[in-house]
Chains A and B, each alone.
Chain A
């Protein structure tokens, strides 16, 4: 069964460093998403991406964040200058279409900013 994959599973970085989290969505899906879950808190939407552009983003997704689909398979989340409060589990998801459609989630990348 096709699944969303994410790399790395864990990432430790120093405050102020840039990190890139990688995701490979399900191959025929058209919509891609990033969510995050700070320890002990809700899973929160960051951004959705369709047709090579951002379709929706939350207030969390400020200028330090960016997303890219550099090739036909990968979908990345870049955090330009990490802060301590960026420590969280980051989930990638994809869906075949947009509205009301099931989103398929990857296993997550646990990011720790020191």
Chain B
């Protein structure tokens, strides 16, 4: 079975400091993993995805994530937070067969000026 656990429901950082949003996954197969971001009243926007190529994945807006199979983790990081990064972030896993996505509960990121 597939599932993701986002370890923090809320994260607060100061502008210019690093961001770490944690995600652990469970999958019976080699998973595909995604991070999506949702700004208020907007759709879910893809930040980055891992599909069994390079384990360090770079996404949009300076975000990156590292797939660590031994730790079953796919944490999202950014070296320096910007005010515009304040949003809800979702870690998502899909399985290799079928096409449904399994979402984490989301992490709300607040950026303090």
Contact = CB atoms under 8 A, between A and B. Distances in A.
Interface of A: 3-4, 31, 33, 35, 41-45, 48, 55-56, 58, 91, 93, 95, 98-108
A42 B103 contact: yes
Given A35-B101, A42-B104, A45-B102, A4 B43 contact: yes
A56 B98 contact: yes
Given A4-B43, A100-B51, A45 B101 contact: yes
B56 interface: no
Interface residues of B, number: 24
A98 B14 CA distance: 39
Contact of B90 (A43, A95, A99): A43
Given A4-B43, A102-B46, A31 B99 contact: yes
B7 interface: no
Given A35-B101, A45-B100, A105 B44 contact: yes
